[in-house]
Amino acid sequence: MFSLPWQPPYDWSWMFGFLAARAVTGVERFDDNRYTRSFAWEGHCGLMQVTPDTDARALKVTLSDGLLAVAPVCLARLERLFDLRCDPHAVAGALGELAAGRPGLRLPGSVDAFEQGVRAILGQLVSVSMAAKLTGRVAMAYGTPLADAPGYYCFPTPEQLLLADPLQLKRLGMPVKRGEALVHLARAAVSGELPLTPPDDVEQAMKTLQTFPGIGRWTASYFALRGWQAKDVFLPDDYLIKQRFPGMTPAQIRRYAERWQPWRSYALLHIWYSDQFQPV
């Protein structure tokens, strides 16, 4: 067993609730206070299982035998998924009253940027639960079953999804254009056009993403939040954000949010999950 520390406060109930609502059948599973998911890296594959230990202020991690050889990679990806390296006091100091209601809120990341890109595209114009169902269908259709963990699949690699036929993807329940967008994303990941690690210039990388078919500004921004776990991204044209800023244009909202730099991603989460927020 491995142990990954975090700095309190940490709102595990919120984090597990956020991720559980988006859990992809066949890839990940929540059981009470435990999260299990498949993972593959350079030919090694297996299950990662985590349980928060609030007394020890650490995330307890168990890896199946197939992943022990790449344990450092697995642990680094879990740190990103759960935002374990966040300094909540630095964030709270910058956000002030905005963070007071939920001081333990963290930024949910991902264990794989390409997977998160697929999730972001499949989440367009559908509910959170439907997005998870569609992603599960893609995983089971194109991913690799785990031989020692029946019912689990490793998420498709870019190379695997690159071979998909958009018409076959359509049969899984998505528009053919969305299937084409997934294949293009896979091609970009293989070619290196899609950065799979956080880029130095997130803003420019987001602009490049918007040149991909099927990816607009909202999807690019959401991908940056989760796939790259960018700390300073705001979504001024998000539907709920516009509701929180009545009478303001996206440009005005963007300027207003500059006060929360360099932690605008955390500000976004606090505004999303606070019915009491009002701009002043």
Q: Which residues are catalytic?
A: 238
Strand ranges for 195-262 from DSSP E: none
Q: ∠ at Cα 35 (137, 110), nearest 5°?
A: 65
Residue 244 one-letter amino acid? R
Strand 153-154 and strand 28-31: the pairing is unpaired
Contact 63, 111 (CB under 8 A): no
> Long-range CB contacts (< 8 A, 24+ apart) of 50-59?
50/78, 50/82, 52/10, 52/12, 53/3, 54/10, 54/12, 56/3, 57/5, 57/6, 57/7, 57/8, 57/10, 58/3, 58/4, 58/5, 58/6, 59/3, 59/4, 59/5, 59/6, 59/84
Question: Three-class SS of residue 181?
Answer: helix
Residue 177 one-letter amino acid? K
Return the sign of the alpha-carbon dihedral for residues 133, 138, 141, 146. negative
Q: How many Å apart are CA 160 and CA 164, to the nearest integer?
A: 7
